[in-house]
Amino acid sequence: MRLFDYNRAPNPRRVRIFIAEKGLKIPLVKVDLMRMQQLSPEFRQINPGATLPVLETDDGSYISESLAICHYLEDLHPEPNLLGSSRAEKAQVIMWNNIAEQGMDAAAEVLRNISPGFRGHALPGPAPIEQIPALVERGQTRVNQFFDRIEQQLKNNAYLAGENYSFADITLMATTEFADWVETHAYKTRPALQRWYTEVTARPAANA
């Protein structure tokens, strides 16, 4: 098994943290996004969508998309449970994970439409998409609205999906750090988010 990875990108980071929480050792294969290696013919044979992460399984098949990879690994290694145990808990984890991904998308809308490094590639994938500067302000509004919603959830819950640490927290941690790239620093003005962020980043797997 191998994980195609880029250490600065938030989606591969989610999977690395998940792997670390499970106590697994999976070799990493670096794909340099800054050098556009994800667009190479060799990598597009692995993932035509030209995105990271991608898990190469022991049977030689490839799985892209962070949640799909983590579902696969959870099925192989059920403990510690990170995707919910009961039917209700599983639904809450997936629900809040999807909500946290919306925050990541909002931060990406800002970054990809303002950063010179994304000129001609304002959306992930191989298609050339030009930046739209007018989307920056909308993205910033979306980011702040997202974190306001998260603050309310964390006021009443130890973790994002309830009382247990889960993949939803991993996604929110990656989203919170990714939002710092566009100078949001959401936890500085939201006490519940600050409490939660201090706790989850103290976990050893957060360094993965």
- Tell me which architecture the domain covering 87-207 has in CATH: Up-down Bundle (1.20)
pTM over 0.85: yes
Q: How confident is the model at residue 77 (pLDDT cuts 50, 70, 90)?
A: very high
Predicted pLDDT at 13: 98
**pLDDT at 183 > cutoff 90:** no
The token pair at 6 is: 């880029």
Look at residues 31, 25, 38 and name the one whose alpha carbon lies nearest to residue 8. Answer: 31
The token pair at 140 is: 């910033």
Q: Find the mean pLDDT for residues 90-110.
A: 97
Q: How many angstroms separate the CA atoms of 149 and 102, rounded?
A: 12
Q: How many angstroms separate the CA atoms of 178 and 9, rounded?
A: 8
Look at residues 63, 82, 68 and name the one whose alpha carbon lies nearest to residue 24. Answer: 82
Inter-CA distances, 159 with 92, 95, 141, Å: 11, 13, 24
Q: ∠ CA 88-150-163 to the nearest 5 degrees?
A: 40
Tokens 């959830």 locate to 153
Characterize the bridge pairing of strands 2-5 and 62-64: unpaired
Q: How many angstroms separate the CA atoms of 147 and 153, rounded?
A: 10
120, 130 in Cβ contact below 8 A?
yes
Class of domain 2-76: alpha beta
Tens of pLDDT, residues 24-63: 999 999 999 989 999 999 999 999 999 999 999 999 999 9
Tens of pLDDT, residues 110-141: 999 999 989 998 999 999 999 999 999 999 99
Q: Find the mean pLDDT for residues 169-185.
A: 95
**pLDDT at 184 > cutoff 90:** no
Q: Find the mean pLDDT for residues 61-90.
A: 97
| β-sheet bridge partners, residue 55 | 3, 63
Predicted pLDDT at 18: 98
- Average pLDDT in the chain: 96
Q: Mark out the alpha helices in 23-134 (DSSP H runs).
A: 41-46, 66-76, 87-114
Q: Where are the domains of the chain?
A: 2-76, 87-207
Q: Find the mean pLDDT for residues 57-71.
A: 97
Q: How confident is the model at residue 78 (pLDDT cuts 50, 70, 90)?
A: very high
Contacts of 146 (CB under 8 A, 6+ apart): 99, 102, 103, 106
Within 10 angstroms of residue 42's Cβ, the number of other Cβ atoms is 8
